[in-house]
Structures are given as C-alpha cells and as structure tokens.
Amino acid sequence: MRLDSIPVLGPLFGAGADDHVFDLLLLSGPLIICVIGFLHRSFVSFVLALSYAAGFVAYIGYRYTTMS
C-alpha cells in the first residue's frame, strides 16, 4: 500500500520531502510516544526515543554529506 493512499493523512505523506526515511520517522513518532505512554521511563522506551532523535539528526547529516 502506498503511503499517500491512506485516507485523511495520505495527502500529508504525499506532500513531504519525498523521502521514505522521513516518512518512516513521521509514522513511527506517534508510535514511540504511545510506547512511552504505556511503559513510562524504562530502558526500552529510552532506547527507542534516543534512537529516534539520533536517527533524525544523523540522517540529515547523511543527506548533507551525500549532497555535497
């Protein structure tokens, strides 16, 4: 299934940076927040949040290096 075919949110995904990693980050963001809501401050939730934030920054860095 294509992301932009999802009802309501589809057009939003279709309008982004046309990059699957960012689309994945956009989709996984609310899921990680839900996980934190259930698990509170645990090792698993901490690793998930840290991976997300580090992954986000690292990916922008990666795009910069591949661009230049």
Partner 1 sequence: MRIHRGSMAYDLGRMLEALSVLLFASLLIPFVWQEWWAIPSLVCSGVLPLGLGYILTHRFEHSGDSGRLHGMMIAASGWFLVALFGSLPFFLLAWTAQLDPGLLGVPQRYTTPGTQAFGTLGVFRHPINGVFESMSGFTGTGLTMAVHENTLPRTLQWWRSFIEWVGGVGVIVLTTAILARPGSGSLTLYESEARSEKIHPSIVTTVRTIWWIFLLFTFFSILLLWLAGMPIWDSINHAMTGLATGGFSITDSSIGTYNSSIIDFTLIPIMLLGSIAFPVHYLILQGDLKNFYRDLQTRWVFIFFGTGTIVLTAVLFRQGLYQTATVSIAGVTLHGTLATLIQSFRYGLFQFVSAASCTGFQTANSLGSEWAPQAQLTVAAGMVVGAAAGSTVGGIKLIRLLTLLKGTLFRIRGIFYPSSAIRTFRLDGRALSGTEASQEFEEAAIITVLWLVFLAIAAFVLLVVLPIGSGTDAYTVENVLFEVASAQGNVGLSTGITGPWMPSVTKVLFIFNMWIGRLEIIPVLVLLRSLFVYRGVYHR
List contacts with partner 1 (CB under 8 A): 11-17, 19, 22, 25-26, 29-30, 32-33, 36-37, 40, 46, 49-50, 52-53, 56, 60, 62-68
CB of 45 to partner 1, least distance (A): 8
Instruction: Indicate the residue among 1 and 41 with the shorter CB distance to partner 1.
Output: 41
Alpha carbon dihedral 30, 32, 33, 35, in 10-degree steps, equals 130
CB of 43 to partner 1, least distance (A): 13
- Which stretches within the chain are classed as H helix? 10-14, 20-39, 43-67
30/55 Cα distance (integer angstroms): 15
